[in-house]
Structure 1
Amino acid sequence: MTDAVTPEDAVDRENQLRDNLRAVRERLQTACVAAGRAEDAVTLVAITKTFPISDVRALAALGVHDLGENREQELKVKAPDCQDVTWHFVGQLQSNKARSVVRCAAVVHSVDRSSLVKALSRAAVEEGKTLRCLLQVSLAAYGPAEAATGMTRGGVAPDDVPALAAEVAGADGLELGGVMAVAPLGSDPDEAFAGLESVASRLRSEHTGADWISAGMSGDLEAAIRHGATHVRLGRALLGTRPPLG
């Protein structure tokens, strides 16, 4: 994540990010209009995994207010450097990393088990902050090909969402924000996100403030928006080909 680039390279990269951001915003606007939703109904969360801090700064300067990481190691480096944005943690989270993530992030999208709820609650209380939590919902039922590989995306089963939601809602330092999911590889994203939309609707009937649906990435954001996504998590469409993990 070093920034050993020339000034000319930096300008070229900023221009590239500006062009990509313009295209992404047009794509989001078009998808919202096609779905019969307000043009600004969806929040872009830029996923900066493996990209350098210079990209984070450039995106913030371009008006991207929500940034996301899926590795605690990167979040704790980047977040202190760029504090005028809302940081989202979107990856699988070990309980022993909860405190580090809570220090840096305002939102965790990947709450999927009781032990993590307890760890996040303890950390939030110790840090004196309120952490917004989204329940990661497993959509494995919509992707049998992915399930057969044994490499599923994780998340809580839809039938178990009410119990975990009640636990988050009752935990000190936590705020239940809604749901998150990733469409399984090989699935029909419309079917998968329709399933998530149904889970989200049931959740809102019991917790009216839990109205976020974090769904949709670079390849399937239109389907997610058709099914009520309020937040999309974009990396490749915005930042380009992802550098290898260091």
Structure 2
Amino acid sequence: MTRAEDLAHRLTSVRAAIRSAARDSGRDPEEIRLLPVTKFHPASDVGILRDLGVDAVGENRVQDAVEKATRFPDVAVHLIGQIQTNKANAACRVAAAVHSLDSVRLARALERGTALAIDRGQRRDAPLPVLVQFSFDGDPARGGVPESGLPELLDALSGCPNLVLSGVMCVPPLGREPAEVFAAAADLRDRFAAEAKRPMELSAGMSGDLAEAVAAGSTIVRVGTAILGPRG
């Protein structure tokens, strides 16, 4: 089996799993976007996925996002991993969205980077969509902001005209029930949407907990291993 055939088979299976999970929870499958996560896989896989109808992928590292966005400018690259502030400028040049906003410091770095990219015409002519990474357990080692830190972060975002709050992202901590974590994140997303008076995304669910995320209301599922296979 060629790599293209393998990816096509895996992609079809995951799309079918999303449709099934949506039906089981009474949702419209069209409300849920699949974001294949290509971290630690070669840029050539992005090209194969593009030919299979994928128009957006997720990346953890800024340097890999830059490479893949440069090689395949017709595929949107979402940054889903932690971003060091010294790499914010590069991130803002290539990211279609950032799912891992978790600090005031990063918000300010992304604001500066986005303003610079727009001013210089560096692949950006509009504000950068950002999702707040919600930390369910408050463990700083895993990234994310606990609920107690949200007021300060949201206040900082209100002063960042080049960033647009687009929703919530979460990763369940080990040992916690994914459904519980996703429900808390969905509640937070709904609160953001009510306050902003516009729809918000919930970026939740990976290969092992996709069904629970869809049931909780996820609108973006980030699937790596089930599509790309074991990490290289």
Identify whether the pair has TM-score above 0.5, normalized to the shorter chain: yes
- After TM superposition, list the pairs within 5 Å mapping 1:77-116 onto structure 2: 77-116=67-106
1:165 corresponds to which residue? Answer: 154
1:193–1:224 CA contact under 8 A, matched in 2: yes
Q: Provide the TM-score with structure 2 as the length reference.
A: 0.92
User: Structure 1 residue aligned with 2:174, among 185, 195, 217?
Assistant: 185
Cα offset, 1:210, TM superposition: 5.2
Identity of aligned residues (%): 40
- After TM superposition, list the pairs within 5 Å mapping 1:60-139 onto structure 2: 60-128=50-118, 129=125, 130-139=127-136
Which blocks of at least 5 consecutive residues in structure 1 are unaligned?
A: 1-10, 142-146
Matched length: 225
Q: In structure 2, what is the Cα distance between the partners aligned to 1:172 and 1:191?
A: 33
Q: In structure 2, what is the Cα distance between the partners aligned to 1:36 and 1:66?
A: 26
1:59 corresponds to which residue? Answer: 49
Q: In structure 2, what is the Cα distance between the partners aligned to 1:228 and 1:203?
A: 14
Secondary structure, in 3 states, of the residue corresponding to 1:106?
strand
Which letter maps to 2:210? L
Cα offset, 1:220, TM superposition: 0.4
2:212 corresponds to which residue? Answer: 223
Q: In structure 1, what is the Cα distance between the partners aligned to 2:157 and 2:199?
A: 11
Q: Provide the TM-score with structure 1 as the length reference.
A: 0.87
Q: 1:34 to 1:169 in 2, by over 3 A?
A: farther
User: Structure 2 residue aligned with 1:32, among 7, 18, 22?
Assistant: 22
Cα offset, 1:49, TM superposition: 0.6
Which blocks of at least 5 consecutive residues in structure 2 are unaligned?
A: 119-124
1:43 corresponds to which residue? Answer: 33
1:133–1:168 CA contact under 8 A, matched in 2: no
Please give the root-mean-square deviation of Cα atoms over the aligned residues, in Å.
1.5
- After TM superposition, list the pairs within 5 Å mapping 1:143-158 onto structure 2: 152-158=141-147
